[in-house]
């Protein structure tokens, strides 16, 4: 009989390779045919790229995620004995996944239309809220402890969390390889954190997302030949926000402090979004008005090249997120240390932002926000 661990690793590799290959291939097709369909991100305004860049990476990510997960579920009856007993549990959660993917697809369509028509921010926010509320009404909500076990409070927190992360990744898509690179780190860390407490359903989905993003990065690393556009960044943020809610972070006999893992892993994207919104409001502008005031741009203003700025942010995200891999083993004091470490990292980010702010607004090559 095959060793169970080897079977799990093999299954994971098959999913990852299939997702990576599918995504890279679809992205290559998008690069070829997007210009003819008018799917181009043209220079101008706050955008820093010099020539039009094809959009369509978001469509490739969406198709890859749905196709690989559909095939995986369809093939579940053929799984070996070591995995078959887990298939029933996965099928029991299939309803939640279908709902999340359906709402994430609506978000993707909204982003696609925004890429073409430049939708008003009120329309975008309304669609995001509607889809997040639909997910909550379908039974996906935060149930942490104390008052957060109340359906209304837990549901409200869940809506704010999903909508917040949707916009965080949309804003993070401002430099070549940034949103996708951070997305890979976040997906893999979440995958590891949930595997550590015995979860298998969400980790499998997160592994597919991470591999699809790596396939996209083949075409998106600097200098980018393809952008994910608002279609991809909104889809990615909504999907990750929902999966962190439906995922398992705490289970006996593991520490209950694992529930703070999503906050630790998402600290950098949330900080970037919050700081940019504060800056825009302070300057009397709409929080949804695109500009070049993000952490990545400030790093470029400080003297880093755009690839160096992207690498710095990805490494800070990884450094913050790795603490989540230990939370299931820690007591209250250990969890406080992890939170303190995250706070210190964000403090470094803040210092760099303030320092860069004295040098100007940056001049790096950007993607589409």
Residue 250's φ and ψ, nearest 5 degrees, are: -140, 135
Q: What is the model's pLDDT at position 169?
A: 95
Burial 232-242 (b: 16+ CB within 10 A, else e): bbbbbbbbbbb
Segment 93-117 shows an average pLDDT of: 92
pLDDT top residue among 13 and 295: 13
Q: Ramachandran region of residue 360, left (φ > 0), alpha (ψ -120 to 50) or beta?
A: left
Q: How far apart are alpha carbons 264 and 268 in whole angstroms? A: 9
Question: Is residue 362 one of the residues assigned to a domain?
Answer: no
Structure-block tokens of residue 188: 């893999």
CB 317 within 8 A of CB 269: yes
Segment 3-28 shows an average pLDDT of: 85
Indicate the SS3 state at residue 113. helix
Residue 118's φ and ψ, nearest 5 degrees, are: 55, 70
Q: How far apart are alpha carbons 282 and 263 in whole angstroms? A: 25
50-85: pLDDT as tens digits: 578 999 999 999 999 999 999 988 776 666 665 655
Q: How many CA atoms lie within 13 A of 191 on its CB side?
A: 17
35-59: pLDDT as tens digits: 887 788 776 555 555 578 999 999 9
Question: Is residue 206 one of the residues assigned to a domain?
Answer: yes
Question: Is residue 276 one of the residues assigned to a domain?
Answer: yes
Question: Is residue 277 one of the residues assigned to a domain?
Answer: yes
Nearest Cα residue to 240 out of 341, 164, 139: 164
Question: Is residue 333 one of the residues assigned to a domain?
Answer: yes
Question: Is residue 55 one of the residues assigned to a domain?
Answer: yes
Q: What is the model's pLDDT at position 136?
A: 93
Question: Is residue 171 one of the residues assigned to a domain?
Answer: yes
CA Rg, the chain, in Å? 20
Give the least confident one: 38-42, 99-103, 109-113: 38-42
Question: Is residue 210 one of the residues assigned to a domain?
Answer: yes
Indicate the SS3 state at residue 176. coil
Instruction: Report the 10 Å Cβ neighbour count for 192.
Output: 16
- Percent of the chain scored above 90 by pLDDT? 46
Q: What is the model's pLDDT at position 360?
A: 44
- Answer whether residue 345 shows pLDDT above 80: yes
Q: How far is CA 368 from the centre of its chain?
A: 16
Burial of residue 328 (number of CB atoms within 10 Å: 0-12, 13-18, 19+): buried
pLDDT top residue among 85 and 337: 337
Nearest Cα residue to 269 out of 364, 160, 185: 185
Segment 173-197 shows an average pLDDT of: 92
232-269: pLDDT as tens digits: 999 999 999 999 888 666 555 667 777 888 889 999 99
Q: Print the domain residue range for 23.
A: 4-357
> For the chain, how many structural domains are there in total?
1
Q: How far apart are alpha carbons 313 and 269 in whole angstroms? A: 9
Tell if the pTM clears 0.95, that is, is over it.
Answer: no
Q: How far apart are alpha carbons 309 and 289 in whole angstroms? A: 22
């Amino acid at each position: 009989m095959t060793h169970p661990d080897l079977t799990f690793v093999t299954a994971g590799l098959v999913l990852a390779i299939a997702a990576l290959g599918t995504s890279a291939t679809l992205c290559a097709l998008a690069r070829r045919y997007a210009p003819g369909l008018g799917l181009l991100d043209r220079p101008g305004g706050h955008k820093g790229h010099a020539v039009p860049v094809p959009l369509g990476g978001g469509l490739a990510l969406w198709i890859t995620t749905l196709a690989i997960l559909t095939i995986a579920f369809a093939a579940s009856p053929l799984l070996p004995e070591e995995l078959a007993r887990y298939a029933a549990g996965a099928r029991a959660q299939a309803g939640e996944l279908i709902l999340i993917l359906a709402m994430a697809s609506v978000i993707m369509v909204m982003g696609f239309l925004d890429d073409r028509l430049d939708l008003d921010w009120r329309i975008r926010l309304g669609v995001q809220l509607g889809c997040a509320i639909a997910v909550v009404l379908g039974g996906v909500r935060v149930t942490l402890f104390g008052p957060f076990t109340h359906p209304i409070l837990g549901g409200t927190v869940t809506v704010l969390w999903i909508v917040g992360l949707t916009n965080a990744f949309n804003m993070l898509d401002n430099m070549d390889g940034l949103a996708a690179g951070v997305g890979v780190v976040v997906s893999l860390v979440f995958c590891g954190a949930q595997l550590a407490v015995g979860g298998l359903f969400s980790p499998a989905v997160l592994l597919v997302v991470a591999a699809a993003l790596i396939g996209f990065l083949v075409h998106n690393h600097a200098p980018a030949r393809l952008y994910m556009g608002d279609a991809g960044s909104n889809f990615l943020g909504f999907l990750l926000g929902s999966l962190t809610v439906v995922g398992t972070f705490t289970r006996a006999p593991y520490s209950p402090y694992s529930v703070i893992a999503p906050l630790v892993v998402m600290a950098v994207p949330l900080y970037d979004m919050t700081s940019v919104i504060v800056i825009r409001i302070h300057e009397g502008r709409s929080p949804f008005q695109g500009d070049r005031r993000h952490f990545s741009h400030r790093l470029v203003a400080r003297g880093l090249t755009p690839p160096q700025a992207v690498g710095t942010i990805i490494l800070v995200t990884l450094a913050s997120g790795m603490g989540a891999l230990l939370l299931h083993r820690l007591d209250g004091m250990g969890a406080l240390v992890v939170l303190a470490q995250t706070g210190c990292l964000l403090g470094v980010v803040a210092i760099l932002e303030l320092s860069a702010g004295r040098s100007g607004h940056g001049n790096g090559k950007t993607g589409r926000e």
